[in-house]
Chain A
Amino acid sequence: MTMPMGEGAVTAAAPAEAWADEREPAQKPEEPSLSAGEWLSRNLFSSAVNSVLTVVFTLLVLLAVRGLLNFTFSEERTWRAVKTNMRFLFTHAYPQEQYVRIWVCVGAIAVLSGLSIGLLAKTGRGISLKKLSMNLMGSGALIALGILLREPSAVVGDEGAVLHRDAAGAAGDSFVGWLDANALTVLGVLVLANVALAGWFHLQGTYLQGGPGPRVAHGVLVLASIGVLIVEQYAAGEVVREPFSEAMSDRAWWWLAAALLAGAGAAAWFGLGDSRRRNTFVPAMHVFFVVAGMAVLSGWVYPWGHYAFLEGEFISEPGSTVAMTTKLPWTVMWILLVGAYMLGRSLRTARAGPRLRLPLNLLWLLTPFVLYWAVLRDPDLDWDHVLTTDIPMALFFAAFGGLAIWFLAHPRVGEAGRIMAVVLVGVAALNWVAAFFGWYPMLQKARISFLLLAVIALLAHNFAGDRTQRMRLVAAWVALMAVFHWLVTLVNSPSTVKTPTDALVGGFSITLIVSTFTLLLAFPMGVLLALARTSKLPIFRVLSTVYIEVFRGVPLITLLFFFNVIFNLFLPQNMSLVDIAGATVGFALFSAAYLAENIRGGLQAVRRGQYEASDAVGFTTVQRTLFIVLPQALRVSIPPLVGQVIATFKETSLLAVVGIFDFLFIADKVISAQSEFLGVKREGLLFVSFIYWIFAYNMSKHSQRLEKRLGVGER
């Protein structure tokens, strides 16, 4: 219902685009675009009921928008609280002199994103100029409407207080005053007139055929209603407000923006013919780059003002441009993003292009670990220990495991392989039992390495093959060992970055970090749980059912408290992880239960024939699951999975209850306790909601695109 005119037309055009991505459609005969009036009468005023609904809901939406605008731009809002605490909100108390580490993280993500989008993304045709110009005109019109709808500013007296009307001057004498008092009645009358008009034309049976009469009448009535909404503002309430002319000139910058947007849109619209503007396409990414580029550029030229909270000092310089420590890094980020994108585009056509897919995806997987443990934490490595213990041990496992896998992946290894795998599983199990009873000391990472090797040994025959295939398996093992031992070493080293809180960063960073690690943990767990729950072995079924039901039955907050307290008790001596590790584990265990149920739904959607066909060609259960069942099941469960991801992302706001300085906590409790901004909460909360919304919305958009793309060849 919030759909402005432009949006509606866009959705109407969408289905044709949805499948044009993949195959060449037969050339559709050209249909000329409808004129605006025609479009309106067909889509919004097609019948009496529809036109009444359109009118009523338009007015409701306008009322809501007016409320939001008045709240956001009111003189009572202290937006300075948000501007000043921007860094606080995003990273909390990460030390200023180390801040470059944050930018390295953002930069790494920018580069990876640019590369991935350039190299892998199916861009389709992009946005048509018609859609683009309609969006431009639409946003111009929206801004203009916003300017008009917003309450005029209150007049502030010499002493800085808002002026109030005296009782005598209050409403009643002028037309505007009368309107203020009777606005609701007038609106009601206008709406009723609308309904009556629609009904009358409907009874005549000539609503659409009856010429422009009803449309014009409706238009006049709707415009009159909007006019009432606007004019009434200038007399509303107790305070003295600036007059219309001043309000409009105050908002000159906004008028300029609206005019520029609408002008650019109109130029594109009228400059091109109907068929050219429909058939010229601009890649969506380029539009995004331009918009982002203009935002970054505005940091250099527009006086946004310089606000900061540095070393206990509040800085407030309204007229200046943004601080160098903000505009310079963002400019670099923009350049990195665009540069990586262009690199990706040029690699896409190169011969090596397709081969870069896998490494790039693996890099994404590795990135969160590297950014958190290596970049943000800057570990203080104990080189003696590294050289005498860590590296030799990693080498040993790489070599020993590599040899074992080389042997086990031979296609005809047969019985010997099974025996060897069982022996490895036995050793791995013994190591853990020994740890429990304290029979012999062993580094935890050696135990885990053994366990990994045992699991891979059990599975190896499923992936056996020729020499190249075996080399690939061995290489994967060596890489896994290198990364694993390196990461464990990093985790075991103390951090050199000193922050006042236990966690390195806070605010939005902690939201991102916790949700990323939660999903990295929970997703594989969820898949395993779902498989176990549908497995033929009763023990797996029972265990997984019990797990899922228990974790779905316990409130998340309980889990958070619990893991916050007990997590460190499970760790080996002399090792303790920060609070967020416990919280992350709690989150992961919780989401795994939900993800498992979603994936189970997907598993059930895989037809029986798929299992039979896999069995008939001789796949083992593992191969059938990995190559045939899971890909289909996961594809079906994308919508609920993304729903769960978004839920997890938002649920991280519960971190506040275990005393972690998360995004919401800073907005709600920290800022409102600062001496400058005592009790200022609403601005922060609004801002936090906005940022959460942007991310959640993008995830859901992205999932829709993913679904569409993976839907290829679906019957």
Chain B
Amino acid sequence: MSVSDATTALTEELAARDDMIVCEGLNKWFGDFQALDQITAVIKEREVVVVLGPSGSGKSTWIRCINRLEVHQEGRILVDGVELTNDLRNIEKIRSEVGMVFQQFNLFPHLTVLDNITLAPIWVRKKPKAEAEELARSLLERVGIPEQAEKYPGQLSGGQQQRVAIARALAMEPRIMLFDEPTSALDPEMIKEVLDVMKELALSGMTMMVVTHEMGFAREVADRVIFMEDGQIVETGTPEHFFTNPQEERTKLFLSQIL
């Protein structure tokens, strides 16, 4: 049995279970620089995974590969049983199931908050406008800013903008949410309001993959912590295990620097 047959068998077998994201031997290069090196990981339904690692370790690159904002060169990614290939139909399908929240919010500045949230449900999900607006208002309620619906993003604080961005992603009714350092661009007093929303989301059973430097969030909410360095996964484990009893030298070094 050749190597590729083995991986196919493995991924197929894995995908049959309740696995939301399966990454299998991912390799990615930017030019000559290898940003991802043999990443293999499985994220299960309703699981909350926090990805940690020093700057430049490839956390963003990995998370962005999962909804094809970056294209991986080797290995396989399966999202909810659908493999990411160049086939546009698969990409469309996966993107409509995966919500993403960015460090810089990336709200659409020319649209009101309400339009920011309803645009994709109307045009991608083909929802009637009234229904989409109703959903948008209930989501704004959920993230705690129902009164800001008619404003423009530029008129909101950073924390409010990030909560709108979360609502925008949720409006597509995704099964998976990806967060790439959602609180790094925020002032300290706004971080909590965003983290609270994320906690509530985790408790409601959303499958989440979160890149963050908020150790408190990782300890309290994560089911699993993945530590990356130089494009590789160095160590994986539950938060207690990870923060109290790390196995790898590199993990210990990292933790000693940030804790």
Which A residues between 122 and 157 are near B, CB-CB below 8 angstroms? none
Closest to B113 in A: A713
**For B152, what are the chain A residues with a Cβ–Cβ distance below 8 Å?**
712-713
Asked if residues B154 and A715 are in contact (CB atoms below 8 Å), the reply is: yes
Asked if residues B154 and A23 are in contact (CB atoms below 8 Å), the reply is: no
For residue B96, give the distance in angstroms from its CB to the closest CB of chain A. Answer: 4
Chain A interface mostly: helix
With A610-B108, A632-B109, A715-B154 as known contacts, state yes or no: A615 contacts B95, CB within 8 Å: yes
Closest to A410 in B: B126
For residue A538, give the distance in angstroms from its CB to the closest CB of chain B. Answer: 18
With A468-B128, A616-B69 as known contacts, state yes or no: A463 contacts B106, CB within 8 Å: no
Closest to A620 in B: B92
Residue B231 lies at the interface, judged by CB distance under 8 Å to chain A = no
Of A469, A617, A710, which is within 8 A of B95 by CB? A617
A613 to B92, CA, bound (A): 14
Closest to A622 in B: B123
With A466-B128, A713-B109 as known contacts, state yes or no: A616 contacts B67, CB within 8 Å: yes
Asked if residues B96 and A618 are in contact (CB atoms below 8 Å), the reply is: yes
Size of the A side of the interface (Cβ < 8 Å), in residues, is 31
Of B69, B102, B154, B168, which is within 8 A of A713 by CB? B154
Looking at A108-116, A389-397, A551-559, A623-631, the stretch in contact with chain B turns out to be: A623-631
A55 to B68, CA, bound (A): 66
Residue A612 lies at the interface, judged by CB distance under 8 Å to chain B = yes
Q: Which 8 A-B pairs have the closest CB atoms?
A: A713-B152, A613-B106, A609-B106, A617-B120, A713-B154, A616-B100, A411-B126, A618-B95
A710 to B154, CA, bound (A): 12
Size of the B side of the interface (Cβ < 8 Å), in residues, is 33
25 contacts between A and B (CB under 8 A): A411-B126, A462-B123, A468-B128, A469-B126, A469-B128, A609-B102, A609-B104, A612-B106, A613-B100, A613-B102, A613-B107, A616-B67, A616-B98, A616-B102, A617-B120, A618-B120, A619-B120, A619-B123, A623-B123, A627-B123, A710-B110, A713-B109, A713-B110, A713-B151, A714-B109
For residue B52, give the distance in angstroms from its CB to the closest CB of chain A. Answer: 22
Asked if residues B154 and A714 are in contact (CB atoms below 8 Å), the reply is: yes
Interface flags for B127-168 (1: CB within 8 Å of A; 0: not) read 110000000000000000000000111110000000000001
Asked if residues A627 and B119 are in contact (CB atoms below 8 Å), the reply is: yes
Residue B48 lies at the interface, judged by CB distance under 8 Å to chain A = no
Asked if residues B155 and A23 are in contact (CB atoms below 8 Å), the reply is: yes
Residue B172 lies at the interface, judged by CB distance under 8 Å to chain A = yes
Asked if residues B102 and A628 are in contact (CB atoms below 8 Å), the reply is: no
Interface flags for A453-497 (1: CB within 8 Å of B; 0: not) read 000000000111110110000000000000000000000000000
**For A463, what are the chain B residues with a Cβ–Cβ distance below 8 Å?**
123
A613 to B153, CA, bound (A): 14
Residue B99 lies at the interface, judged by CB distance under 8 Å to chain A = yes
Asked if residues B124 and A619 are in contact (CB atoms below 8 Å), the reply is: yes
**For A682, what are the chain B residues with a Cβ–Cβ distance below 8 Å?**
none
A618 to B153, CA, bound (A): 21
* A interface, CB within 8 angstroms of B: 23, 411, 462-466, 468-469, 607, 609-610, 612-613, 615-620, 623, 627-628, 631-632, 635, 710, 712-715
Residue B169 lies at the interface, judged by CB distance under 8 Å to chain A = yes
Closest to A412 in B: B126
Interface flags for B66-78 (1: CB within 8 Å of A; 0: not) read 0111000000000
Residue B122 lies at the interface, judged by CB distance under 8 Å to chain A = yes
For residue A621, give the distance in angstroms from its CB to the closest CB of chain B. Answer: 10
A619 to B122, CA, bound (A): 11
With A615-B95, A618-B124, A619-B120 as known contacts, state yes or no: A632 contacts B110, CB within 8 Å: yes
Of A466, A612, A618, which is within 8 A of B69 by CB? A612
Known: A466-B126, A617-B99. 8 other contacts (CB 8 A): A465-B128, A609-B102, A617-B120, A618-B95, A619-B124, A627-B123, A712-B152, A713-B155
**For B155, what are the chain A residues with a Cβ–Cβ distance below 8 Å?**
23, 713
Asked if residues A618 and B126 are in contact (CB atoms below 8 Å), the reply is: no
With A618-B120, A713-B109 as known contacts, state yes or no: A465 contacts B126, CB within 8 Å: yes
**For A710, what are the chain B residues with a Cβ–Cβ distance below 8 Å?**
110
Interface flags for B184-221 (1: CB within 8 Å of A; 0: not) read 00000000000000000000000000000000000000
Interface flags for B167-181 (1: CB within 8 Å of A; 0: not) read 011001000000000
A253 to B244, CA, bound (A): 96
Asked if residues A617 and B126 are in contact (CB atoms below 8 Å), the reply is: no
Q: Among the interface residues B106, B123, B126, B127, which one has the most CB atoms of the partner chain A within 10 A?
A: B123
Q: Among the interface residues A466, A469, A710, A713, which one has the most CB atoms of the partner chain B within 10 A?
A: A713
**For A713, what are the chain B residues with a Cβ–Cβ distance below 8 Å?**
109-110, 112, 151-155
For residue B133, give the distance in angstroms from its CB to the closest CB of chain A. Answer: 14
With A465-B122, A715-B153 as known contacts, state yes or no: A612 contacts B102, CB within 8 Å: yes
Asked if residues B123 and A613 are in contact (CB atoms below 8 Å), the reply is: no
For residue B116, give the distance in angstroms from its CB to the closest CB of chain A. Answer: 9
For residue A326, give the distance in angstroms from its CB to the closest CB of chain B. Answer: 46
**For B169, what are the chain A residues with a Cβ–Cβ distance below 8 Å?**
616-617
Closest to B126 in A: A411
A273 to B53, CA, bound (A): 67
**For A631, what are the chain B residues with a Cβ–Cβ distance below 8 Å?**
110
For residue B166, give the distance in angstroms from its CB to the closest CB of chain A. Answer: 12
A713 to B112, CA, bound (A): 8
A469 to B123, CA, bound (A): 10
A617 to B108, CA, bound (A): 12
With A613-B107, A619-B120, A713-B109 as known contacts, state yes or no: A464 contacts B92, CB within 8 Å: no
**For A23, what are the chain B residues with a Cβ–Cβ distance below 8 Å?**
155
A464 to B128, CA, bound (A): 11
**For A465, what are the chain B residues with a Cβ–Cβ distance below 8 Å?**
122-123, 126, 128
With A616-B69, A617-B172 as known contacts, state yes or no: A464 contacts B126, CB within 8 Å: yes
**For A411, what are the chain B residues with a Cβ–Cβ distance below 8 Å?**
126
Closest to A466 in B: B128
Closest to B103 in A: A609
**For B68, what are the chain A residues with a Cβ–Cβ distance below 8 Å?**
615
A465 to B122, CA, bound (A): 8
